[in-house]
Amino acid sequence: MFPVYLLCVLFVSEAVCMYSSKALEGYPAGYLADCPGTAIPQHIPLEDLNYLTIHVQGKGNFFNLKNKYNYYQMKNLAKDPQIDFKKPTVMYVGGFLDHPQLPFAMTIGVVYKKLGYNVLLLDTNRFTTVAYPVAAANMRTIGKRVAEMLAILSKFGLDPKKLELVGLSLGGHTISFIAKNYRFQTGMNISRITGLDPSGPCFRNLGPEDRLDQTDADFVDVIETNIDGYGMAAPVGHVNFYVNGGEFQPGDIFWAPCNVVCSHIRAFTIWISALLNPNSFIAMKCDSVQEARNKDCYDKNPVVTNIVGLNTDRNTQGIFYLATENNFPYFMGLKGLKKENEFFDSKLNLSKDTSWSFF
C-alpha cells in the first residue's frame, strides 16, 4: 500500500541504495513507553476522600448546577431527585487534569441525560492535578475507592447490569480499576465499559491486571485514535475500533495537522457523535492491528461490520477499522466501507483531475 522510498548514499564511484522497511526502521515504542507504570497502589489518606466526589447530572443545559456527593455521602446520593435506578446509569471518568465542570464532562453529561440515563460524573481532579506518572499511579487506589462507592449504591438499588462506565484517556484505565474492584467487592460484573483512547503512557507495557482489559466487564469496547502517542495500540477490548488506522486523525481544517492532543481527544468527539447519530459509524473487521494501521481491511470477503455507539454488536468481536470525515459529526455511514472514500486517499489522489479542488 505504501510507496517504497529509496535512499542512495553516493560514494566516489558507486551508489549504495537502501530500501526502507520496518525490519530496518523498527516499530514505534509509543510516547513515554516506559513511564514507568506501576502495580503498587498509592496511599491516599482517608481525609482526602472528601475530595473524591460524584456530580449528578440534572436536567437542563450545560451550565445547570449539579449536586455533588463525596466518598462518605453515597446514601444521600441514592436519594438525589435526579436518580432513578430503574433507568440505566452511566458514570463518566475524565482524564488527566479533567473536572466535571470542564467541557468534556459537561457535554457528555447532557447527552446521556437526554438519552434517559442517570448520569454520574466522577471528579478525580484532586488526584490528577499532579505530575502525570503520579496521577497514573493514583488511579489504582481511586478505582478501589470508587468501587466502594458504587457497592454502597448497589445496596440502594444500583443494578450493575444497568451500569456503564465511560473513560477518556487516563479515565480509560480508571474505569478498569473501578470495574475490577467492584467485581472483587461484590462478586458481580459491571455491564459495559467504554475506553476512549485509553492512555498509553505508563500503561502500554503493563499486563491485564494493571490496565484496561476485556475481562473487566461483561462487555468492553475501545475507540483508538492516537495509539502511538497518548493512546495505546493493543486491542484490549472485546471490540476495538481503530479510527482512520488509529494513529493520527485528519484535521478539521484539512491542511492543518491534527497533532497528538487533537487526535487523542477525537475519540471523545466521535463517541459524542455516535450517541447523537445512532448506527452511523460503520466499521469493518480487520485481521490485525497492522492491517488497521495500513487501512488494508477493505477487501475482505465477506465484509464483517460493527457499529460504534450504544448499539455495538457485542457478539461480533475483534479489531475494526473505522473511516471518518474530518469534520463533526465525522461519520460516513456505508460510504466508509469503500476504499475510494477513505479521507486522505480521496483528497490526495493526484491521478484525479479534481485533486486540488479540495484546497
Give the catalytic positions in this structure: 169, 197, 264
Q: Cβ(307)–Cβ(279) under 8 Å?
A: yes
- Give the burial class of 107: count Cβ atoms within 10 A of its Cβ; 0-12 exposed, 13-18 middle, 19 or more buried: middle
CB atoms < 10 A from the CB of 36, how many?
A: 12
Q: Pairing mode, if any, of strands 219-224 and 239-243? A: parallel
Q: What is the dihedral of CA 146, 260, 274, 190, to 10 degrees?
A: -20
Q: What are phi and psi of 3, to 5 degrees?
A: -65, 150
Separation between Cα atoms, residue 205 and residue 227, nearest integer Å: 13
Q: What is the rounded distance in angstroms from the CA atom of residue 221 to the CA atom of residue 180? A: 16
Q: Are 233 and 324 in contact (CB under 8 A)?
A: no
- The rounded distance, in Å, linking the Cα atoms of 131 and 21 is 37
- Give the rounded distance of the alpha carbon of 293 from its chain centre: 17
CA-atom Rg of the chain in angstroms:
22
* DSSP 8-class letter at 284: E
Sheet holding 219-224, edge to edge: 67-70, 53-56, 118-123, 89-93, 163-168, 192-196, 219-224, 239-243, 318-322, 282-286, 305-307
